[in-house]
Structures are given as structure tokens and as C-alpha cells.
Amino acid sequence: MAEERKVETTTILALLAGAVGVGAAVAWAVGLFRPKAPKGKGAFVRSLIADTPTPASMVERVRDLDLQWVALIGESKSGQVSTYYPERLPAYVAALKSAGIQVWLWGWPFPVDVDTFASELGGLAKDLGVAGVIVNAEKPFYHPRHADAGRRLMTQLKKKSGGRAVGFTSYGAGPPWHPKFPWAAFSETSDFGPVSKS
């Protein structure tokens, strides 16, 4: 069994290396096995009140789904209408944590002004005492020229969150299907990633 897994992993890494280069392939694969990532079944929550208008109703919903962790939206620079309510976050976080559910914050940044994003989301994570931060890095970072912004974002989030775990999620198919995304830049500076949203 262990030998089969080793061969399978080696084959996957070889395919990735051929598609996007050795550095990006190794960084992406290492990110999958880092120990600080959320464990078990979880969900990304875009809105606190859409289906769960109270903290107690969210706890009930999370238990019904048998989730071990949730990532609540904490910041979005997507330009979309806000679907989160920062003033309500403390009550939801407290209720989920007291029910034994691991709580994370997530956000959708842009490569411009990553320092402000990191300060706001990282500071919120620290203040609320959540497990860590997950960055949903997708279209805005979809070009190799955004590698430095990605590195800076993750490094600053780590500092501003008080050293909490910091990871990222992005396109589920990974480097072979999205070679222009700066996988290595995010993986090198993250505690884990990518986290699949599918």
C-alpha cells in the first residue's frame, strides 16, 4: 500500500513538473501535506445570515452537516456586494468554538494593497482567536507578475494574525490546468494549500 502511494505521488509530481516546472510542482505538492491545514470535513461560508440568521442556527446547521471546521468570510475585495457582517462575527465565532467546531476566516484579495487586506483580515483573526486564515486567491492573482504580491500577502497575513496558520485555496485542478497562477509564490509562504472548495 505504501509503495503504491509512493509510486502514485511520484507519478503525479513528474506530470506536474513537466507541465509547470519542478519548483511550482514541488511547492504545490508540499502544500497538500502540511500539518496546520483544517482537518476533516468543512465548509466556506459566504454569508452569516442567508441560511443561518443566528449563531445557534449556524451551530445546528454545522452539526447537521457533520462538519469539523468552517471558514467564515472575514474580508472581500472582490468588488461584489458584501455578504458578510463583521459586527456579527464575534457571536458566530464564539458559538461555533464553544460547540467544538474549528473556526477559520477566509477572504478574497486583490494583488493591489495586499498590506491593507492582510492587516484587516489578519487583525480580525487575531482579535477573534480563530485557528487561522485561508486566502481565496484566484482570478485577481492569475498571472506570474503577481507572484511578489502573493508572497507579500501571505507573509503579512502571518504577521498580522499573530502567527496563526495561513493557507490558500485556488483553482481545484492545480498547476497543470492553471499554469499562469503563481502556485509556488503562495505555497512557499503558506502553512498549507490549496484547500479544495469543490
- Pick out the chain residues at pLDDT < 70: 1-35, 76-84, 173, 195-198
Give the three cell numbers for residue 50: 442567508
> What is residue 87's predicted lDDT score, i.e. its pLDDT?
81
Rounded-to-integer distance, Cα 97 and Cα 11, Å: 40
Phi, psi of 115 (to 5 degrees): -65, -45
> What is residue 146's predicted lDDT score, i.e. its pLDDT?
93
Domains annotated for the chain, with CATH where assigned, are 2-188 (3.20.20.80)
> What is residue 148's predicted lDDT score, i.e. its pLDDT?
95
Q: Which residues contact 86 (CB under 8 A, 6 or more apart)?
A: 74, 124
Rounded-to-integer distance, Cα 186 and Cα 76, Å: 18
pTM to 2 decimals? Answer: 0.77
pLDDT tens for 6-39 read: 444 444 444 444 444 554 555 445 444 445 889 8
Through-space distance between the first and last CA atoms of the chain, rounded to whole angstroms: 27
> What is residue 1's predicted lDDT score, i.e. its pLDDT?
46
